[in-house]
Structure 1
Amino acid sequence: METTTTPPSGESIRVMSELTAEDLFLAKSVLTAASVDDGREAVSEAGRLRLRVGAGRPGVRHLLQTLNGRPAGYAQLEVAGDGSSATAELAVHPELRRRGLGGRLAEAVLAELAPAKAVDCWAHGGHPGAARLAERFDGELVRELRQMRRPAGQEVPEPVLPEGVELRTFRPGEDDRAWLALNALAFAHHPEQGAWTEADLADRLAEPWFDPAGFFLAVRDGEPVGFHWTKVHPDGLGEVYVVGVAPGEQGSGLGRALTAAGLRHLIRDRGVPAVLLYVDADNPAAVRVYERLGFTVHEVDLMYRVQEAGPAGGSGPQG
């Protein structure tokens, strides 16, 4: 499925559910330029995983914006299967910002919302242009995701597991379903992580960075009750990719032990210079754990909720 709108001044926005090789090239041209100029990725890891030729997924739409045939903007919209929620990310080529392109791209995203009535939009790094764009569309700040970092030189405490719990590594193909069930329980409150499907897991297990030696499972009586999945980025930085603990094990110190085990792997076994992680600002217990392990805030991603109906006029401040 593809639709095309042609705003004034040689600008075109195409909406599609699958990308061709040419579409992918245009989208990545925008995202790469934005990432270099802004000093951070223009879309999330989940968004980047969906940037594949012909890899259509239910509810996901790609919006490609050109100006006189030149790559100008890219947006990705995902509407949940039940229509209850939607998320979006967008970027405008740095050389074409402040021309109203961002505003018109946002309007095109909102026009695609049905049946959802509102969309949660990410402003990675709290980009001021994205914040101004959210203000123009009466966006409400609903989430603050902190990226925290710690240098490798700081001491890592010895992992102390609760009695009866053992630590082993993840076995692809054997632990998939048990891990997905545990992940759903541990992140039942989380709008993204807790909703992972077999496809979401498979996408990441197929990534070049995946290493089962850095994916730790805490097991009690043969059943996984916690995990720490680590990641090493192409630039050499380590990441506490995700730590989860079963509800019945929370408060036992298992989360801290798993975090320490992963940190030791990243620093001692992989030799990373520093480790990063993401944590929601409204999770003070987790923030305190990470602060005690030496993490401090590096930057912040913001999420704004925008209703379907936008303003009648004006031009986008970022585009």
Structure 2
Amino acid sequence: MGNVCGVQLTWRNGLDSSEAAEVMALLDKTEQADGVAPVGEHVILRLKAHRDVIHQIEPVQADVRSEHFVVRDAGSVLIGYAHLDTEHEKTAGQLVAELAVHPDHRRKGVGARLVEALLDRAELSLEPAPDLGRLRIWSHGEHPGAVRLAERFGFSRPRELWRMGRDLATPELPEPELAEGVRIRTFRAGQDEPSVVEVNHRAFSWHPEQGGMTEQDLRAKEHEEWFDPAGFFLAVDGADRLLGFHWTKVHPDGMGEVYVVGVDPAAQGGGLGRSLTVAGLRHLRDTGSRQVMLYVEGDNAPAIKVYQRLGFEKWDTDVQFGR
């Protein structure tokens, strides 16, 4: 793809290990500058799937769900990147993108060049137009630069994801309250994956990302450094059938996260989600986390109310811009 003022944008359907490492370094640099990661976890996981060439049959490893837009300056230095998720293109006709521009190369047209390439890939005009649900671009932390680009190219705001948080010391956390015959135990790797995926699918059948988790996805996350089965809580009945779960996460800086809370629809309405959430919060507090965060859909008023009652407040917003 084209060269504008010495800036070269190219498209990739796969990255070799060297280029994947360059992209990871760019994402790290962007996160350091902005205080928020420019891409979601699933993008990082896909980039990490690129192993050294000696472990691959081919020197370039392609992910059929991913396309990559790479921007380099005249000296061939990576200054911009966009990841395009094509997983739902055939079924729902939707493409989802996330992008990053090197902090030293902003306000020079790199972000606009990436957006233009994404619009071209989605077969959309550069002029403002009604939202067709064809292209979604995330802005994590609602970055001012992303807002300007969205206004310039006429994107709407079909989705917001709130990040909420609270201190774990105060207010005091309540005790979990469980119905008779229900108990909470921790995750057993190698045994619980099928039931967790099954309940997750039912609990999040409406969710565009979480609902599609597979056993392979779950097992891949079990190999991440942060994974800890002791922080993965399962509510089961007397026959050990899974009713719901709370998967916690601890970030490298010690920040705790309510990573996923899922309750089987057949078990909803009795406060199980709240009790699972409390069990995970107490675990995070007792294992050293001082603060905890979570993500929740901005239009999910019932969930937001539950979290507010547990002491959470809104911290910031991720916005999905749409065309």
Give the partner amino acid of 1:71: L
Following TM superposition, by how much is the alpha carbon of 1:83 offset from its aligned partner in structure 2, in angstroms? Answer: 4.3
CA distance in 2, matches of 1:192, 1:241: 13
Residue deviations 1:101-133, cap 9 Å, x none? 111111222333379971111111011110111
CA distance in 2, matches of 1:161, 1:16: 51
**87-96 or 22-31: bigger deviation:** 22-31
Following TM superposition, by how much is the alpha carbon of 1:145 offset from its aligned partner in structure 2, in angstroms? Answer: 0.7
2:291 equivalent among 274, 287, 305: 274
1:247 equivalent among 243, 265, 270: 265
Following TM superposition, by how much is the alpha carbon of 1:39 offset from its aligned partner in structure 2, in angstroms? Answer: 1.0
Aligned length: 301
Following TM superposition, by how much is the alpha carbon of 1:6 offset from its aligned partner in structure 2, in angstroms? Answer: 2.9
CA distance in 1, matches of 2:169, 2:251: 18
Structure 2: 5+ residue stretches without partners: 51-59, 125-131
CA distance in 2, matches of 1:7, 1:199: 39
Give the partner amino acid of 2:63: R
Residue 115 of structure 2 corresponds to residue 106 of structure 1: yes
Residue 122 of structure 2 corresponds to residue 126 of structure 1: no
Does the 8 Å CA contact 1:23/1:64 hold for their aligned counterparts? no
Does the 8 Å CA contact 2:160/2:318 hold for their aligned counterparts? yes
2:213 equivalent among 156, 171, 196: 196
Residue deviations 1:271-301, cap 9 Å, x none? 1111111111111111111111111111111
Residue 165 of structure 2 corresponds to residue 153 of structure 1: no
Secondary structure (helix, strand or coil) at the match of 1:109 reads: helix
Secondary structure (helix, strand or coil) at the match of 1:125 reads: coil
Q: TM-score, normalised by structure 1?
A: 0.90
CA distance in 2, matches of 1:234, 1:281: 26
Residue 20 of structure 2 corresponds to residue 24 of structure 1: yes
Secondary structure (helix, strand or coil) at the match of 1:277 reads: strand
CA distance in 2, matches of 1:146, 1:97: 26
List aligned pairs for 1:59-70, cutoff 5 A.
Answer: 59-68=65-74, 69-70=76-77
Secondary structure (helix, strand or coil) at the match of 2:62 reads: coil
Give the partner amino acid of 1:93: H
Following TM superposition, by how much is the alpha carbon of 1:164 offset from its aligned partner in structure 2, in angstroms? Answer: 2.1
**271-280 or 6-15: bigger deviation:** 6-15
CA-based RMSD of the aligned residues comes to 1.7
Following TM superposition, by how much is the alpha carbon of 1:222 offset from its aligned partner in structure 2, in angstroms? Answer: 2.2
Secondary structure (helix, strand or coil) at the match of 2:260 reads: strand
1:313 alignment counterpart: none
Secondary structure (helix, strand or coil) at the match of 2:269 reads: coil
1:227 alignment counterpart: 245
Does the 8 Å CA contact 1:76/1:89 hold for their aligned counterparts? yes
Give the partner amino acid of 2:293: L
Does the 8 Å CA contact 1:143/1:304 hold for their aligned counterparts? yes
Following TM superposition, by how much is the alpha carbon of 1:72 offset from its aligned partner in structure 2, in angstroms? Answer: 1.0
2:45 equivalent among 44, 49, 56: 49
Following TM superposition, by how much is the alpha carbon of 1:167 offset from its aligned partner in structure 2, in angstroms? Answer: 1.0
Residue deviations 1:165-217, cap 9 Å, x none? 12111111111111111001001111110111223212211100000010011
List aligned pairs for 1:256-267, cutoff 5 A.
Answer: 256-267=274-285
Q: TM-score, normalised by structure 2?
A: 0.89
Residue deviations 1:10-32, cap 9 Å, x none? 21122222221221232123212
Give the partner amino acid of 2:116: E
Q: Evaluate the alpha carbon distance shift between residue 22 and residue 259 of structure 1 in structure 2; reply closer, same or farther with a 3 A threshold.
A: same
Does the 8 Å CA contact 1:226/1:244 hold for their aligned counterparts? yes
Give the partner amino acid of 1:103: A
Q: Which structure's relative contact order is higher, taking Cα pairs within 8 Å and 6+ residues apart?
A: 1
CA distance in 2, matches of 1:48, 1:72: 18
CA distance in 2, matches of 1:117, 1:184: 23
Residue 185 of structure 2 corresponds to residue 168 of structure 1: yes
